[in-house]
Amino acid sequence: MRSNLAARDVETLVHPYTNLAAFRETGPLVLERGHGVYVYDTDGRPYIEGMAGLWCTALGYSNEELVEAASEQLSRLPFTHLFSGRSHDPAIELAETLKELMPVPTSKVFFTSSGSEANDTQVKLLWYMNNALGRAAKKKIISHVKGYHGVTVATASMTGLPANHADWDLPLPGFLHAPCPHHYRGAEPGESEAAFSARLAGELDALILREGPETVAAFFVEPVMGAGGAIVPPAGYFEAIQPVLERHDVRLVADEVICGFGRLGTWFGSESLGIRPHTLSFAKAVTSGYLPLGGVSIDEPLYRAMLAESAKIGTFGHGTTYSGHPVACAVALKTIEIFRRDRIVEGVGAKAPHFQARLSGLADHPLVGEARGIGLIGGLEIVADKGSKRQYDPKAGVAARCVAFAQAEGLIVRFLAGDRIAICPPLVITSEEIDALFDRLTRALDRTLAWIAAEGLE
């Protein structure tokens, strides 16, 4: 029964992150299958998946080896858990593999099913650790304005976007936000990237001192801020903030949910941007998005604290049914095997200059205030006036309109709050496909410009 899917959808589904009222008019884009970097709708129309789904389908859409890995594990042992000392070989092997790969001192790995759960676990482990260490007051969590860390109660509190706070009674007390490291929007006129970084490090220092360092547990950062607008922090930013955190004994957590597994041309974003975190969170591309899996690295001091704290009550009271799901772990192992064999990360490094050159080329378009990126991720900021950086009235929905034009041109990209557009294709994209992506995006921008003129927007 595949007929009339769009109408049935509107009657039955609530869609995440969707304008619920507008959706009743527009209906869904129902996708049916995928191949390489292309997805196809129910009418057979192809689209370049310029967002790798939601920043995750690194190996594209028709990877038979991933399908076989899932199928083999499904037949052999579709489910067992990791509670109470139960285990299975895919989880053990994946934890070993990740320990080798992750650019942080890692003693153990804890698995989750999503990025939100991974970051939520990080928060809980920080609280648990500081209780074990007798530092009961050291519990506050800092993250960036416009940072994105998830949607659970704790991680939505960390996420620094208005849609995740207003009307949700969030953030919870104890979740603080540091200024967004976005040079284009945040710098004073004439302020260099290095000077801007130094100023933000000073503001972070002041925030920690104001709160009391004995009350601040950790700072969560994305290497490149994804959902906030594909924002690459300015030169020297992480070098400037890390000494501040060290001085106040505030742990640094890298949220590698988007940047992990090759996106920036290194296995993890931290390696590209000089971040030395205590722990990191991963999800998404670890399975190339084929199955839900996330997790966190645990360093030795944290593990020691967990041992001590759990001994008090006799159990480590945290975990979900699907922590380390065997089929998801099997697909992750195969994903990493393919990454290594096919030199996917090196491939990103080789393709990035072309991708970034085409992205920078869009900065000449009258609507584009800033075109920014690194590796195979990029963002555009739409402005009404390039000189003053003035934006259109958010109600006009200019970036959303541009994304709709892109879809009509056979390209899927994503609009983000603040009239921003994100581009994050599968890592297996070819040079010709990169050209096709940017040609379509250019046509979408041109159509948007014509629409703005027709509507008389200012």
Task: Please select the residue that binds ligand PMP; options are 69, 82, 158, 257, rule is CB under 6 A.
Answer: 257
Task: Please select the residue that binds ligand PMP; options are 156, 176, 180, 283, rule is CB under 6 A.
Answer: 283
The pair of structure tokens assigned to 124 is 């809980």
Residue 112: name the closest of 316, 335, 282, 261 by CA.
Answer: 282
97 φψ region: left (φ > 0), alpha (ψ -120 to 50), beta (else)? alpha
CB of 156 to ligand PMP, least distance (A): 10
| CA dist., res. 97 & res. 24, Å (int) | 45
> Token pair 């790969």 is at which residue?
101
| CA dist., res. 234 & res. 231, Å (int) | 9
**Residue 401 found at the interface with ligand PMP (CB under 6 A):** no
Query: CA torsion 350→351→355→357, rounded to 10°?
Result: 40
Task: Please select the residue that binds ligand PMP; options are 106, 116, 130, 197, rule is CB under 6 A.
Answer: 116
| CA dist., res. 347 & res. 354, Å (int) | 12
**Residue 273 found at the interface with ligand PMP (CB under 6 A):** no
Could you tell me which stretch among 18-26, 81-89, 142-150, 440-448 binds ligand PMP (CB under 6 A)? 142-150
Type of residue numbered 189: P
CB nearer ligand PMP, residue 421 or residue 452: 421
Residue 141: name the closest of 229, 156, 99 by CA.
Answer: 156
Task: Please select the residue that binds ligand PMP; options are 61, 111, 127, 148, rule is CB under 6 A.
Answer: 148
Question: Which of the 8 DSSP states describes residue 84?
Answer: G
Task: Please select the residue that binds ligand PMP; options are 53, 103, 115, 233, rule is CB under 6 A.
Answer: 115
CB nearer ligand PMP, residue 138 or residue 144: 144
**Residue 143 found at the interface with ligand PMP (CB under 6 A):** no
Cα separation values, 260 from 78, 311, 337, 345, Å: 26, 33, 15, 10
The pair of structure tokens assigned to 195 is 């000077």
Task: Please select the residue that binds ligand PMP; options are 160, 226, 277, 326, rule is CB under 6 A.
Answer: 226
Type of residue numbered 244: V
CB of 455 to ligand PMP, least distance (A): 31
Task: Please select the residue that binds ligand PMP; options are 66, 258, 423, 429, rule is CB under 6 A.
Answer: 258
CB nearer ligand PMP, residue 122 or residue 356: 122
Looking at 375-413, which runs of residues are DSSP E strands?
A: 377-382, 411-412
Could you tell me which stretch among 22-30, 128-136, 254-262, 268-276 binds ligand PMP (CB under 6 A)? 254-262
Could you tell me which stretch among 39-47, 114-122, 187-195, 440-448 binds ligand PMP (CB under 6 A)? 114-122
Task: Please select the residue that binds ligand PMP; options are 123, 154, 227, 327, rule is CB under 6 A.
Answer: 227
Could you tell me which stretch among 92-100, 115-123, 204-212, 316-324 binds ligand PMP (CB under 6 A)? 115-123
CB 28 within 8 A of CB 402: no
**Residue 58 found at the interface with ligand PMP (CB under 6 A):** no
**Residue 270 found at the interface with ligand PMP (CB under 6 A):** no
Exposed / middle / buried, residue 179 (Cβ in 10 Å: 0-12, 13-18, 19+):
middle
Within 8 A by CB and 6+ apart from 445, the residues are 362, 365, 367, 368, 402
**Residue 356 found at the interface with ligand PMP (CB under 6 A):** no
CB nearer ligand PMP, residue 119 or residue 448: 119
CB of 365 to ligand PMP, least distance (A): 26
Could you tell me which stretch among 57-65, 192-200, 220-228, 357-365 binds ligand PMP (CB under 6 A)? 220-228
Within 8 A by CB and 6+ apart from 430, the residues are none
**Residue 381 found at the interface with ligand PMP (CB under 6 A):** no
Strand arrangement of the beta sheet that strand 46-49 belongs to: 31-35, 38-41, 46-49, 411-412
What residues does 416 pair with on adjacent strands?
Answer: 420
Number of chain residues interacting with ligand PMP (CB under 6 A): 15
CB of 125 to ligand PMP, least distance (A): 16
Binding site for ligand PMP (CB under 6 A): 54, 114-116, 119, 148-150, 222, 226-227, 255, 257-258, 283
